[in-house]
Amino acid sequence: MTGGLLAVHAHPDDETLSTGALLATWAAAGLPTTVVTCTRGEQGEVIGPEQSVLEGNGRALAEHREVELAGALAALGVRHHAFLDQLVRPSSSPGGQDDGDGPGGRLRFADSGMAWIATGQATAAADLPEDAFVRVPVDVAAAGLADLIRREEPTVVVGYEPGGGYGHPDHVHAHRVMTRAVELATAHLAVAPTVLWAVLDLVQLRAAYRALAEEPTPAGLALPDPAGPVPSAAVPSAGVDVEVDVDPVLDKVLAAMRSHATQVQAVRPTPGSTHVARFALSNAVLQPLLATETYRVAHGQGPAPTEWPAGIRPRVA
């Protein structure tokens, strides 16, 4: 395996929560590792009183989350990063104008917001910002990403499954944009990249939910229902094609989680359990960090590599 890895994510913190072990393992192998973030998380709910003044102040929160993201990427060993709107040529924006309020008047993709509807399940926010990422046509957003794929020729491109992991509209749109970008790019590449979708092993997830109920629960946090709703990323074990060992890079992943302090709380390792750590998001529901990070190969989007970096392997049925 000599090729690079390109991860496409909707907001700062998603790179860590969805693909942290994969990114850390790939980077530790000395292979090119790039993250593209579609928005700056302007609509994020802020955890803790220290930074509460940032909530509702989109530009200030975006700047703060850029700093958190930089710290997380450094912890994971990722050296290459871009925001998606930085890759889009101004002439590609709707109407061919330099609309938006980014640097130099360039197009800027903003967090579309969301609302929780159940544990691990989200939907669109009631009020959609004018510059929301989901308003950007797929082909406009995909054009710059496709250019990057053509330049870097990654062996693997990774992102969300079609449901966006848990239904966040920006995640769903990021999946569509990533899929279209790969289609556009591979028309000009000799070998198409393998496309991975981040998923959760449903059996392991429910077992970890049960184990969480046997551990002390921090004040102010709730437990997930082991028999209740699960995010769209949860799939039967037979739906998992690739798995990554989390334990060898656990310290890096936990450091990256802690860097995202406005978004992630109660981060703690849980040795000897069905999961290697636990954490909570702004919905104040504890979540397990499973011992293996799992992926599905998007079939028809390029053959899976025959050799993976140590710690990453195809799952044998």
Domain CATH code at residue 63: 3.40.50.10320
What does the pLDDT read at residue 81?
Answer: 98
Q: What residue numbers bound the domain in which 47 lies?
A: 5-200+234-244+293-299
Q: Is residue 103 part of a domain?
A: yes
Percent of the chain residues topping a pLDDT of 90: 77
Q: Residue 105 above 90 pLDDT?
A: no
Q: Is residue 37 part of a domain?
A: yes
Residue pair 229/205 in contact (Cβ under 8 Å)? The answer is no
Q: Is residue 310 part of a domain?
A: no
Q: Is residue 55 part of a domain?
A: yes
State how many domains the chain has.
1
Q: Is residue 283 part of a domain?
A: no
Amino acid making up residue 87: L
What does the pLDDT read at residue 119?
Answer: 65
Higher pLDDT, 107 or 32: 32
Q: Model-level pTM?
A: 0.93
Q: Residue 256 above 70 pLDDT?
A: yes
pLDDT band for 127, please (50, 70, 90 cuts).
confident
Q: Is residue 274 part of a domain?
A: no
What does the pLDDT read at residue 125?
Answer: 74
Task: Give the range among 37-41, 46-50, 173-177, 239-243 with minimum mean pLDDT.
Answer: 46-50
Q: Helices 250-259 and 58-76: crossing angle, nearest 10°?
A: 170
What does the pLDDT read at residue 317?
Answer: 66
Q: Is residue 130 part of a domain?
A: yes
Percent of the chain residues topping a pLDDT of 70: 93
DSSP letters for 218-276: PTT-B---TTS---TTEE-GGG--EEEESGGGHHHHHHHHHH-TTT-EEEEE-TTSSEE
Q: Is residue 314 part of a domain?
A: no
pLDDT band for 135, please (50, 70, 90 cuts).
very high
pLDDT band for 128, please (50, 70, 90 cuts).
confident
